[in-house]
Amino acid sequence: MTTGALLALAACGGGADPAPSTGVGGPIAVVATDTECRVAVTTAPAGTITFAITNQGTKLNEFYVYAEGDRIMGEVENVGAGLSREFHVEIREPGTYETACKPGMVGDGIRAAFTVTGDAPAARSDNELLAQAVTGYHRWVSAQADEFLTETGKFVTLVKAGEVEKAKALYPTARSYWERIEPVAESFADLDPLIDGREDVVAEGMEFTGYHRLEKDLWVDGLQADTNAMADRLLADVTQLVTKVKATELNALQLANGSKALLDEIATGKITGEEERYSHTDLWDFEANFEGSKAAIAQLRPFLEDKDPQLVAAIDASSTALGELLESYRVGDGFALYTDLTPADIKKLTDSLDDFAEQVAKVAGIVAAG
């Protein structure tokens, strides 16, 4: 991992509140509102670029820097109204990138071109490209894990305060961070059933705990005598998980397999309405799994473009189609409930997912062949 990536990782969790400035070498000020994304400077030399985002709107906001194919070079999430956050992004390749604010944290965001200047570095070897993909993905997973902990903390607080409606509103969003990084997160086989176990798959001698237990309390049973204890336990388990996720080492094949595994999760658990059987918020999970799959593929993109540009084009086309279809089920900041979907809706989603997954399944073979 490069120093820049470590810096970025450290900064993501921070809540720095510097005075925005645009001076050479200083942070690039970004003023975000509910309708605008004003980036003070739209060009910077290659290297470590610092952005300072200030949210002057009323909605929760996010800021992204994307390379081609929506490969996330850096992001800062959950910037509350009135708050400022600073973050660093390491860009070594000169070229055209995109900045984006996402008011309300939904959709494609308010995008603008951003140019990185400098001399093109020497062409990278396959191994370098794959190592870069792993670093980038790890950085993204770590940032998601941090958000998972933050949002789980908020969710637990709401549950313990007996704020049932607010807890229900946050539930699908808080869980989405888990769903995005599920292949990495569930590799910790001791914590997975504690955090994400479903009532019918709890092994003999184990208790039904975690997010789905609280889901059942919130939606079906009402708060129970041990609900608060369950909430505390969830936070403790998530805290432990996040430490492990951030310390985990990945390789490029795991990225490829993980991108497919996330789609398999959708096909077997989400599109069937099984995962969120009490809240019916399965489409939130669908989107999060899909995002996670795209994030891994995006990091592998420079390597794949070199090896099989046709496959990249096919992945892009089917990914766009699935994304547009999923957006058509958006309701406000969230999605239609699973119980509101017709069999025809589910078939359309299944068809589109099958198409995308067939393309993504080819990635592992290409990565393995080097």
Question: Which residues sit at the interface with another protein, rule CB under 8 A?
Answer: 253, 318, 347, 351-352, 354-356, 358-359, 361-362, 364-365, 367-369
User: How far is Cα 171 from Cα 296, in angstroms, rounded to an integer?
Assistant: 25
Cβ closer to another protein: 37 or 353? 353
- If one counts every other C-beta atom within 10 angstroms of the C-beta of residue 203, the result is 7
Q: Which is nearer to another protein, 105 or 321 (CB)?
A: 321
Q: In what order do the strands lie in the sheet with 61-67?
A: 43-45, 110-117, 95-101, 61-67, 71-79
Which residue, 170 or 367, has its beta carbon nearer to another protein? 367
- Cα gap 142→249, rounded to integer Å: 11
Closest approach of Cβ 302 to another protein, in Å? 20
Q: How far is the CB of 294 from another protein (least distance, A)?
A: 17
Q: How far is the CB of 174 from another protein (least distance, A)?
A: 33
Nearer to another protein, 2 or 350 (CB): 350
| Residue 308 exposed, middle or buried by CB count within 10 Å (0-12, 13-18, 19+) | middle
Q: How far is residue 24's CA from residue 228's CA, in Å, rounded to a whole number?
A: 51
CB of 120 to another protein, least distance (A): 31
Q: Which is nearer to another protein, 177 or 356 (CB)?
A: 356
Q: Minimum distance from CB of 44 to another protein (Å)?
A: 39
Nearer to another protein, 259 or 359 (CB): 359
| Helices and strands per DSSP (H, E), number in the chain | 12, 11
User: Which pair of tokens denotes residue 14?
Assistant: 């921070």
CB of 351 to another protein, least distance (A): 4
Q: Where are the alpha helices (DSSP H) in the chain?
A: 3-13, 126-160, 164-180, 182-185, 192-196, 210-216, 227-247, 252-265, 282-307, 309-327, 343-360, 363-369
Nearer to another protein, 223 or 314 (CB): 314
End-to-end CA distance of the chain: give it in Å, rounded: 20
